[in-house]
Amino acid sequence: MKIEIRKKFLIELSKIQPEDRAEIEDFIFEEFPANPSIKAWDNIVSLKGDDSCKKIPFGDYRIGIRIKDNTVIFERIRHCHDIYRIQS
């Protein structure tokens, strides 16, 4: 499975406080590429209405991903209260 990271995702990631960002960066750039199978991660949850859209919780933040043509696309990262109010 290939991995793609959107520019908007990186911009939002850069705005997170460093102490919160370290764990997220470790997952995105090291852990997930080492095992990019969605089924291997039990904390990835499908969103209602669209099985290709999923969220990954990290403390107070949620990573929004989309699965398209055998590619995992990291779309957005927002505070848990804001992730549901945005559109890609």
For the chain, the domains span 2-85
pTM of the model: 0.85
* Average pLDDT score, the chain: 87
Distance between CA atoms of residues 23 and 4, nearest Å: 19
Helix (H) or strand (E) holding 24: helix 18-26
| pLDDT digit string, tens, across residues 40-70 | 888 888 877 777 889 999 989 999 999 999 8
Residue among 77, 73, 88, 75 at smallest CA distance from 2: 73
Task: Domain 2-85: state its class.
Answer: alpha beta
The secondary element (H helix, E strand) that includes residue 23 is helix 18-26
What is the distance between the alpha carbons of residues 75 and 7, in angstroms, rounded to a whole number?
Answer: 8
**What was the pLDDT predicted at 87?**
53
